[in-house]
Amino acid sequence: MKLIRFEYRNQKHAGVITSRGIAPVEAINARLGLRVPDDVLAIIQTGAQREIGNLDGIETIPFPEATPQLPYDVPPKIWCIGLNYKTHAEDIDAVQPEEPGSFMKPASCMFRPGGEIVLPPPHVSDDVDAEGELGVIIGKKCRAVPAREAKEVIFGYTTTLDLTALDVLRKNPRYLTRAKSIDTFFSFGPVIVTADEVPDVSKLEVITEHNGAICSRDFVSNMRHSPYELVRFHSDFMTLYPGDLISTGCPKGARIKRGDRVRARIEGVGTLEANVT
């Protein structure tokens, strides 16, 4: 199942992607006699997607008439993983850490899918890159998850765009959170694909496009720390909650400037793009 949050006629709703368009949750409930929340985060928290059956005959909204939104505005947690691909470490002349190089981002740095990345003033940063990544969405409250069970607590997958002020980071690696948290330095979605639709996450290819050309591409199988290992590792340190997001790293970022367009693309998961202003 592919979930999306969208705006239609000045109202925001949750829906399911079909071959015919978006099936709004409101229409699904009316047709099937359900009470699925009209809210993507609430669907994840309650597991209500399991109630949704055959969507044949449900009226859909054509894709061009709906404006994609963030799946939800405030994830319980946003974890990001640095240097998870060897190629990214080489690109910025850094050494891959033995353990996941994880850091958190605030919800205030998010922009809507298809929206705008607003570059900071030059005195704040004059060297920014954009990184297309695979995002993991947690589906169950969990702590100290054994490696063999990590797959069972994942709700699904999404695409993310993670941005970095590289010049800020070069000053001191302790400035990582600051370099990653500038307004419009993160987005995810617009689609969340449930885990059952991704039989082998290691075969997914993560692609970053810059002005229509491929900047970088690599397979999840080449990550130093797999999505399952990232879930296991972080659950050792803290409780994970439904809706928590782990952005798993980028093969290589695209240096961006005003007027550019960047896109994260993962076949079978989705695309996420933005204009740079």
The tens digit of pLDDT for each residue in 57-111 reads 899 999 999 999 999 999 999 999 988 987 766 766 667 778 999 999 999 999 9
Sign of CA dihedral 80, 83, 86, 88: positive
Half-sphere CA count of 140, side-chain side, radius 13 A: 13
Percentage of the chain modeled with pLDDT above 90: 91
Nearest C-alpha neighbor of 80 from the set 160, 146, 197, 173: 160
Q: What is the pLDDT of residue 91?
A: 66
Domains of the chain plus CATH, in order, are 2-68 (no CATH), 78-276 (3.90.850.10)
Answer whether 28's CB lies under 8 Å from 66's CB: no
Nearest C-alpha neighbor of 231 from the set 77, 33, 127, 93: 77
pLDDT at 230 over 70: yes
Contacts of 52 (CB under 8 A, 6+ apart): 1, 16, 28, 32, 34, 36
pLDDT at 121 over 90: yes
pLDDT at 187 over 80: yes
The DSSP code for 78 is E
**pTM beyond 0.85, yes or no:** yes
Determine the Cα–Cα distance for residues 169 and 175; give it in Å rounded to an integer. Answer: 6
Q: What is the pLDDT of residue 83?
A: 86
- Report how many helices (DSSP H) and strands (DSSP E) the chain contains, helices first: 6, 17
How, if at all, do strands 21-24 and 101-104 pair? unpaired
SS3 268: coil
Amino acid at 2: K
Q: What is the mean pLDDT of residues 228-249?
A: 97
> Across 9-108, where does the E strand assignment appear?
11-18, 21-24, 67-68, 78-82, 101-104
Q: What is the pLDDT of residue 85?
A: 87
To the nearest whole number, what is the mean pLDDT of the chain?
A: 95
Q: What is the pLDDT of residue 267?
A: 95
Q: What is the mean pLDDT of residues 142-154?
A: 95
Q: What is the pLDDT of residue 89?
A: 67
Choice between 188 and 90, residue whose per-residue pLDDT is larger? 188
In this prediction, residue 42 has a pLDDT band, given cuts at 50, 70 and 90, of very high
